[in-house]
Structure 1
Amino acid sequence: MNSTRPPCKGEGNTPNCVTQCNPGYPSYTKDKSFVPIKGRRRTLPNITDLTELMKLDFPDPGGPISRTLTWFRDWLAGLKETRFFLSGPLSLTPVLVCSDAFRVFLQRHCPVVAEPFSPTPWCWGGRLQTLVRVLIKSSPQVDYRNELIRTADGGQISLDWVDNGDSAAYPECYSRPTVLILPGLTGNSRQTYVLHAVSQATRRGYRCVVFNNRGFGGEELLTPVTFCAADTSDLERVVLHVRELFPQAPLLGTGVSLGGMLLLNYLARKGSEAGLVAGLTMSVSWDTLESCASLEQPINRLIFNRHLASNLCQAINRHRKMLETVVDVDHVLKARTIREFDERYTSVMFGYKSCLDYYQEASPNYKLPRTTVPILCLNAADDPFSPKHALPVALAKRLPNVALLVTSHGGHIGYLEGLYPRGEGYMDRLFGQFIQAAFDHPGDLKGACSIKEELLD
C-alpha cells in the first residue's frame, strides 16, 4: 500500500499493496489501520485484521499448518473477548427479533427482555461463562416424586415431579398450571439449571415435571432404545400422560440445549395439536452440523467436545448388556467426539444412513415455520455450542409466533451475573417472567402471536 492511500475497492488490484485483497476481504477504508512510517511503508494490523486473515482458506486442510492457524484464530478470539471485558462496556441490551405485537407483549409482561444483561466481569467470554456455571452455580433444594411410565415399545421413562401441593395461588390440584422441563444432552433433573427453573416455577405456585431422557434418569433400560433430538415419540408420550392426568391444567414446555431442540421438533411435528400453551427454549443448537463444526475447533474440542463424548460413552457402557444387541458397543466406546459418537451410535440406533442425515433431521431451524404455539428462544452470540451465524434471525422476523432473544454474552446455559454468580441469573429470571406471563395472560399471548383461540384449547 502506498503512503497516499489510494482508494481500494477490495478487488486486490491496488498498486503496492502489502497484502492483496482476497474476495470478501474488508475494505482498507472500512476496517484496516493504515500507518505510514518514515522510511518504510507498512500496515499495522489490529486484532480484527488478524482475525479476518485467519478466516482465509488454509493451505493444508487438516494438516499441521491448518491446525496451528485454527488454534491461533481461537486464541485471537479469546483475546478480543478479554479486551472487551477489560476496556469495553459490559452492559448491553439483548436483541429481540420478533413481530411488533409479540414484542409489545414481552416488554409489557416480561420486562427482562428489555433490560441490559451485565455478565460477570471476571468471567469473560462464552467458554468461561459455560464452564464457570457448572462449577459455581448453586443447587436449590428440590424434593422430587419419581414416576416411571411405560412406552409403546415396552420401554420406560422417568419423570420427576414437584406437585407443589401447598400452592396458595393455585390450591386446586386439577387446575394448577404445569411446567414441563426438558434437560440437555447428558442432563437430568439434578442439573443446576433445572433446579433453578423448578425453584422459579414453584415459588409462583406452579407444578413442575422433569422429563429425563431414557437412560439418564437413573432408571434401567427395558428395551435397547435411548433417545435423540430428532425422535419426539417419548416426548409425545409424556405430554399425553400429563394432559390425561390434568386435562384442565394449562401446560407449558421449556427445553434447554438438546432439550430445546427436542421441544422445537415436537412443536413442529404436532402443530396445533401440541397441547402446550407456549414453549421456551434456552441455548438451543439451531443447526446441528454448524454446532458440531464449532465444537470441533481446537479449544472447544479440548474443553467441551471430548468431555461430552466421554459422558455419552459412559451412559452407553452403563447399559451395555441391553444395547450390545443392536450396536457394536466396543466401537462406540472408542468415540472421542460427539460427531464420532453420533456416527457410531445415534445414526445406527435410529436408522439414519450417516450422522449427517441425522443432523439434518435434528436441526430445528428448518422446521420453525411448522410451529403454531408462541415460542420464546434465548441464545447468546458467544455460545460455543450454537454459533451466531446459524441463529434463525430471518425466520424469527417473519413468523408471528416466534421471538428470538440474543444476548451478546452468556455462553452455553451460562448467563452469569454479579461478582459471585451462584444464585439466580439472567436465564432464571427470563424463565420465571415468561412462564408467568404465559399462564397469567394466555389470551393476550395468543392475540400477540395471531393464534386463534381454538388452536391451543
Structure 2
Amino acid sequence: MPITTSSYNPPFLFKNGHFSTIYAGIWRKIADFDQKRERIELADGDFIDLDWSFSKTPTQKVVILIHGLEGNAQRAYIVGSAQQLNRNGYDVCAINLRTCSGESNRLYRSYHSGATEDLDAVIQHILANKSHVAIFIKGFSLGGNLTLKYLGEDRAIPKEVKAGMAVSVPCSLYSSCKELLKSKNIPYAIRFKKNLVEKLKQKQKLFPEKISDADIKKVITLKDFDDIYTSRAHGFKDALDYYEQCSCLQFLPEINTPALILNARNDSFLGPECFPVKEAEQNDNLFLEISKYGGHVGYYGSKNITYNEKRVIKFFEEVH
C-alpha cells in the first residue's frame, strides 16, 4: 500500500521524542479502570495471564493487546487503549506475557520478541471458549513485532482474525538493539537492564544449574542479556541469531491480513531498518504510517486519549 500520510501534530513539548516517551511511560495515568483476570494453561506446562475488559454494549468483536519489553497489562498504554476500545464497542483481552503478570512462569524459558506460539495459544483459547467472531490484534514495541511476525508467518491465520496494528515497532531487532546501545538511550537501557537482571535472579533461584552468578555479572548491556539468557533459553545460537530469526521485517511481504504499522521518526529506539517503506509499497495488506513525532509508544493526545488509541479504532473500522 502507498505510505499513509500522518496527521499527528502534538503540542510543542511533545514534539520532543524523549519527553513524549517519558511522559507516556512514567507520568500518564488511567484512573478507575477494571480488568478481570483469566489464567490459561499452555501446552508446554506453563501459563499466561489475560486481563479482560468489556464493551458496555454486547459485542462479538475482541482486540488482543500485547505489551512491550518488561511491560504488562496494567501499563497506561495498554489500559488507555483498552478503555477507548471498550468505549467503541470492542471487548479487550490484554496479554501479560510470561513472567510479566506479577508471578514467575514455571519454565526456564520466558517471553521474547518472536514467541508467536503464545499469541496463537491465546487466539485458539478465544476461538474455543468465547463467543467472539472478529478478532483484532494490537501490539506495542516488542508486542508489535510479535503481531506482525504472527501475521506473516507460514501458518493458517484463522478467518476470525480480521486485522492488526503495531505501534513503535522494532521491525529489525538488531537495528533497534544498536540504537538502544547508543548514549542517547542510556537512561532507558539502564531501566530495562535493571528489570531484566532482577528477573534473571528469580530464574536463577528456580534453575540454579542453568544460571550462574558469573552469568549475571556479565550482563552489562541488553545484548548481553540476550546472549546469556534469551538465546540460550529459547533455542537460538546467540543474540544475533535471535534477532535475525525473530525480526518481523522478513515476514512483512507475506502478510495477507490488513495490518498497520505506526512508527515515529523521533523514536530513539528505532534504527533505519525499522521503517519498512519498500515492504509496505509492495504489499496491499500492509499499511505504514511514519509520523514526525510520537517518541516510543508516546503519541500524546488531548483528554488523555493518545493518537494511536484513536488511530487503531479508525483503522479497524476501515478494514472490517
- Scaled by the length of structure 2, the TM-score of the pair is 0.93
Deviates more, 1:149-158 or 1:388-397: 388-397
Counterpart of 2:7 in structure 1: which amino acid? Answer: P
Counterpart of 1:436 in structure 2: which amino acid? Answer: E
Q: Does 1:277 align with 2:158?
A: no
Q: Which residue of 2 aligns with 1:142?
A: 33
Report the alpha carbon displacement of residue 391 of structure 1 after superposing the two structures with TM: 1.1
Q: Which residue of 2 aligns with 1:361?
A: 245
**In structure 2, C-alpha distance between the alignment counterparts of 1:329 and 1:366, rounded to whole Å:** 36
CA displacement, residues 87-146 of structure 1 (integer Å, 9 cap, x when unaligned) = xxxxxxxxxxx24xxx8xxxxxxxxx6663222312443222211222332214221111
Q: Does 1:243 align with 2:127?
A: yes
Deviates more, 1:115-124 or 1:219-228: 115-124
Counterpart of 1:409 in structure 2: which amino acid? Answer: Y
Q: Which residue of 1 aligns with 2:281?
A: 397
Structure 1 134/258 Cα, relative in aligned 2: closer, same or farther at 3 Å? same
Structure 2 residue corresponding to 1:374, chosen from 258, 279, 287: 258
| C-alpha contact 1:380 1:407 (8 A) present in aligned 2 | yes
| C-alpha contact 1:179 1:253 (8 A) present in aligned 2 | yes
**In structure 2, C-alpha distance between the alignment counterparts of 1:206 and 1:390, rounded to whole Å:** 29
1:83-122 to 2 correspondence within 5 Å? Answer: 98-99=1-2, 116-122=7-13
**In structure 2, C-alpha distance between the alignment counterparts of 1:124 and 1:208, rounded to whole Å:** 30
Secondary structure (helix, strand or coil) at the match of 2:110 reads coil
Q: Does 1:152 align with 2:33?
A: no
Secondary structure (helix, strand or coil) at the match of 1:255 reads strand
| C-alpha contact 2:258 2:285 (8 A) present in aligned 1 | yes
Gapped regions of structure 1 (runs ≥ 5)? 1-97, 104-112, 443-457
Structure 2 residue corresponding to 1:296, chosen from 181, 190, 196: 181
Q: Does 1:176 align with 2:60?
A: yes
**In structure 1, C-alpha distance between the alignment counterparts of 2:295 and 2:82, rounded to whole Å:** 22
Structure 2 residue corresponding to 1:186, chosen from 62, 70, 86: 70
| C-alpha contact 1:252 1:276 (8 A) present in aligned 2 | yes
Q: Which residue of 2 aligns with 1:225?
A: 109
Structure 1 residue corresponding to 2:310, chosen from 415, 420, 429: 429
| C-alpha contact 1:316 1:329 (8 A) present in aligned 2 | no
Structure 1 357/115 Cα, relative in aligned 2: closer, same or farther at 3 Å? closer
**In structure 2, C-alpha distance between the alignment counterparts of 1:323 and 1:284, rounded to whole Å:** 32
Gapped regions of structure 2 (runs ≥ 5)? none
Report the alpha carbon displacement of residue 266 of structure 1 after superposing the two structures with TM: 1.3
Structure 1 376/435 Cα, relative in aligned 2: closer, same or farther at 3 Å? same
Counterpart of 1:427 in structure 2: which amino acid? Answer: N
Task: Give the 4+ runs in structure 1 shifted more than 4 A.
Answer: none
**In structure 1, C-alpha distance between the alignment counterparts of 2:113 and 2:294, rounded to whole Å:** 23
Counterpart of 1:405 in structure 2: which amino acid? Answer: E
Secondary structure (helix, strand or coil) at the match of 1:122 reads helix
Secondary structure (helix, strand or coil) at the match of 1:367 reads helix
| C-alpha contact 2:14 2:294 (8 A) present in aligned 1 | no
**In structure 2, C-alpha distance between the alignment counterparts of 1:270 and 1:247, rounded to whole Å:** 27
Counterpart of 2:219 in structure 1: which amino acid? Answer: A
| C-alpha contact 2:62 2:132 (8 A) present in aligned 1 | no
Deviates more, 1:313-322 or 1:210-219: 313-322
Return the index of the structure with the highest Cα Rg. 1
- Scaled by the length of structure 1, the TM-score of the pair is 0.66
| C-alpha contact 1:179 1:209 (8 A) present in aligned 2 | yes
Structure 1 114/356 Cα, relative in aligned 2: closer, same or farther at 3 Å? closer
Q: Would you say how many aligned residue pairs link Structure 1 and Structure 2?
A: 319
Identity of aligned residues (%): 28
| C-alpha contact 1:313 1:333 (8 A) present in aligned 2 | no
Report the alpha carbon displacement of residue 227 of structure 1 after superposing the two structures with TM: 1.1
Q: Which has the higher contact order (CA 8 A, sep 6+)?
A: 2
Counterpart of 1:154 in structure 2: which amino acid? Answer: G
**In structure 2, C-alpha distance between the alignment counterparts of 1:237 and 1:129, rounded to whole Å:** 34
| C-alpha contact 1:381 1:406 (8 A) present in aligned 2 | yes
1:42-121 to 2 correspondence within 5 Å? Answer: 98-99=1-2, 116-121=7-12
